Structure 1
Amino acid sequence: MSTIKTPIIPSRQHFVQVEGDKELDKEAICIFVATGFFLDTDTYWKNQKVLAPASQNLVDESGILIESKPWFQWQYNQRDITFEKALEEFTSLFEQIIAEQLQDNKVILPLSGGLDSRTQAIAISKLKNSVTSYSYSFKGGYPESNIAKKIAKSCGFDFKEFKIEAGYLWPNLEELVAINNCYSEFTHPRQMAVLEDFKKMEGVFSLGHWGDVLFDRGAPEGIASEQLMPMILKKVVKKGGMELAQALWDEWSLDGDFDSYLKDRIATLLNKIDIQNTSAKFRAFKSMYWAPRWTSINLSVFEAAHPISLPYYDDRMCQFICTVPEEFLADRRLQIAYIKQQNPQLAKITWEAQKPFNLYTFEKNITPHNLPYRAGNKLNRTIKEAIGKPYVQRNWELQFLGMENDEKLQDHLFSENLHPFISKPLIAKFYNHFKNVDAVKYSHPLSMLLTLAVWNKNRKNG
């Protein structure tokens, strides 16, 4: 027997066996195609599960799960403290976590135009570690690296800029399958495009995942508890996801209907969270079921190059969040105050989510103050499209658009007969919808079908 304790937000999946025959969990797969992640402890198989977050687990010598109990419960125990006190505590805790995670190692820091990595940059700049920072932008898209480069220069970090090229997925597909085991669709981990560049670097990654969830309002102010379910569905279900899930549900002749099954599963999980504040409850739901099964999956790509550290995943940070008044977390108040207090120069650099404004001026990102920028941006995109250079905004555009991408995509989708797992007519229907009806809506279903096709091929060959 062995005991396994999982973190509050696990950075990797730990698979165990449960009693039962090895049978596809088709209901779980339908949720996977609708949302892009497996829910709760689900996997592709009914006799295999993933250990739950924040759980103490007893596993026997054969890897069979005997018992699982929670050691931590998300809660909302706000203390009667001032914002200044909360900021002081956050500063101390965050910088302590950063220092403990990195120790005296060289650091590899991904930088964006947002707040999470900017907050990390400040804490890391106080250490004596050697830092290599980097950022990447889509070829033909918004030059995100321009903001990151300014942050790196202000902190005195070395900086590398990468361009994510079209079609990078296909030569890296088999390696990605080996890394994430098809537990995420393939168009999101753009870091695969530069994995070989990562391997040439030295150090420990300091990754800013989940900071934007912990340090923001979980739900809009004043939302009622009965509104949580539709809000969760709106957040987690991808465009076209319900349509594909229901199509598979019908093809596999599963009982009932997918919509009812999904809502029942989410309601059951939501009811287990004993938090009255709806904003805090939604944040807890996302941290329990979204972070470990969606955000964490492709952390393994970074880990394929070097060790990773995640300051916002730290158990102490999650426990701290449970005690901070919701109004201090809302609208990124704590992070903004930290950046202004600790490094005013970084606060003056454009905040990508509020561009062209910064942390001192972002409240002006309303009409009429933002009209000149919006007009100029739209004109720039219109000119590019007019000369045959479409503005790239999403990963799938680099993977699915164009003749070469289409040939690779069709080869993976149609070269083998996937029946009875997925019929060719069903695949053809969604492929044709992507090509001829609405590429944006059907990009997710197409990506999920690609993921399932590759997974099925690998499980038959493996």
Structure 2
Amino acid sequence: MIFKNPIIPNSSTFVGEKKTLDYEAICVFVATGFFLDNDTYYKEQKALKPAFEYQLDEKGKTIISEKSYFKWYYKPVERPLNEIVKEFATLFETIIKEQVGDKRVILPLSGGLDSRTQAAALFHLGNKVNAYSYAFDGGHDETYYAKKIAKVCNFPFQDWKIPNGYLWNKIEKLAKINQCYSEFTHPRQMAFVDEYDKLGDIFNLGHWGDVLFDDMGVPDDMPLEKQTEIIAKKVIKKGGLELANTLWESWKLEGDFEEYLSERIKTLLENINIPQSANAQIRAFKSLYWAPRWTNTNLSVFESVRPITVPYFDNRMCEFICSVPEKYLAGRQIQIEYLKMRMPDLAKITWQDHRPFNLYQYHWNKMPFNLPYKIYNKIKYKLFTKKIIQRNWELQFVGKENKKELQKWLFENTSFQELISNDLITSFYDKFTNKDSVYYSHLLSMLLTLSLFSKQKDNAI
């Protein structure tokens, strides 16, 4: 059988046996939160690579041959920005029209640009849309701008509050859905997994627009060694390196973990080989390795309820990006100008990342223009005495009941104790509890994920 993997696939496809644990790959996973390249938990099992065509055996379990059909490149075609925006409009709206047809669309909204751009396209195409957003219980009202966007588009809107401790009665279901390929505090959408089917027939998701339609913030002539360093800093999470180094030593793996990870990143960058643009090369790296193995893992939560569409993942969008000069990708210009052209009223709504400015004023988000807002914000937070929930893990790990559930998975799972010693687990849990909860939150979340994996591996889930 022939399997052609998209340039940015919606989900990972695995082939091979679940046999021998790949400890090196697991160390990368705990450091970064995703498996690198085609790694999995097992040496014999691999994820099929993006932009590759495979010939598999009749059962689809063994690779007979493979070949790449697309390689990321940078061949900018110089033309005015307004022409590029019109090209984007035609392409983006064509993709969405093909993907959703006349189905009722479920649209997650935020205060950023990606979902706002989708809202403009869906409104222009005349689709039936139900929009929604959610905020932390006890946190900032992240639904504020989403409501405004929905109102301008006349989309019915559902706002939800993510409750404290929502994860625990859904964690085993989540482990089945994402197969433990992502830490469990990130997929907030799991809190409402039983509600989505009431909203429509198909999801239209805005993932990866912020990567494709922006520069990477580096000089285009940045050397490979520096690119490797930049990517390593971006992918390694707080506390992740400490956990990875500790496990590397406890599993008696050869060499040094940091050198191992750096060399792998460097090799992957060399294989991309876009010497004329470091920005294009880093974007390609993210799209090849970050999107399919981190971003896409929890799209499976949406897909467990309704089919998903992701317009920014479309092969034609990837090819379009390769033709756009970096100077027009920088600063999200294309999406901003598209919104101004297609729906000026949406462009007038505050851009959350540049509060209090909108898409006509965001370039004023610098001193001294933003000083009054900064002063106002500082006073407001000083007067607001109640602690505000700002991070996903605070809803899961903080508080008596949360700690009880967390301790159960860390210390009462015998399968997990066979993978990581109880002394190491206790040591890291104590650091989270008594030393620096923010720094050690990712580390603790990865331990929780490995605990669920260990139980799943033993067919107990």
Common fold: TM-score over 0.5: yes
Partner of residue 420 from structure 1, selected from 411, 418, 421: 418
1:306-325 matched pairs, under 5 angstroms:
306-325=306-325
Contact 2:81 2:328 in 1 (8 A): yes
Partner of residue 438 from structure 1, selected from 419, 424, 436: 436
Query: Helix, strand or coil: the match of 1:297?
Result: coil
Cα deviations across residues 388-410 of structure 1 (Å, max 9, x unaligned)?
Answer: x2111110011111111111100
Contact 1:249 1:258 in 2 (8 A): yes
1:365 paired residue number:
365
Contact 2:131 2:157 in 1 (8 A): yes
Q: Distance in 2 between matches of 1:138 and 1:372?
A: 27
Query: Helix, strand or coil: the match of 2:339?
Result: helix
Task: State the 1:383 CA deviation.
Answer: 3.2
Letter in 2 for 1:258: F
Cα deviations across residues 325-364 of structure 1 (Å, max 9, x unaligned)?
Answer: 0111110010001011111111110100111111111111
Cα deviations across residues 37-77 of structure 1 (Å, max 9, x unaligned)?
Answer: 00000000000001000001111135111222111000001
Contact 1:195 1:305 in 2 (8 A): yes
1:21-420 matched pairs, under 5 angstroms:
22-62=19-59, 63-222=61-220, 224-225=222-223, 226-276=225-275, 277-384=277-384, 386=385, 389-417=386-414, 418-420=416-418
Unaligned runs of 5+ in 2: none
Query: Helix, strand or coil: the match of 2:458?
Result: helix
Contact 2:104 2:202 in 1 (8 A): yes
Contact 2:229 2:262 in 1 (8 A): no
Cα deviations across residues 202-225 of structure 1 (Å, max 9, x unaligned)?
Answer: 221110000000000023245612
Letter in 2 for 1:448: M
Letter in 2 for 1:36: G
Contact 1:219 1:282 in 2 (8 A): no
Q: What RMSD over aligned residues (CA atoms) do the two structures have, in Å?
A: 1.3
Q: Distance in 2 between matches of 1:80 and 1:365?
A: 29
Q: Distance in 1 between matches of 2:91 and 2:220?
A: 30
Q: Distance in 2 between matches of 1:341 and 1:447?
A: 43
Query: Helix, strand or coil: the match of 2:177?
Result: helix
Contact 1:218 1:281 in 2 (8 A): no
Unaligned runs of 5+ in 1: none
Task: State the 1:428 CA deviation.
Answer: 0.9
Q: How many residues align?
A: 456
Q: Distance in 2 between matches of 1:61 and 1:263?
A: 38
Q: Distance in 1 between matches of 2:146 and 2:174?
A: 26
Q: Distance in 2 between matches of 1:315 and 1:445?
A: 35
Query: Helix, strand or coil: the match of 1:161?
Result: strand
Q: Distance in 2 between matches of 1:223 and 1:190?
A: 38
Query: Helix, strand or coil: the match of 1:162?
Result: strand
Deviating more after overlay: 179-188 vs 223-232: 223-232
TM-score, length-normalised on structure 1?
0.96
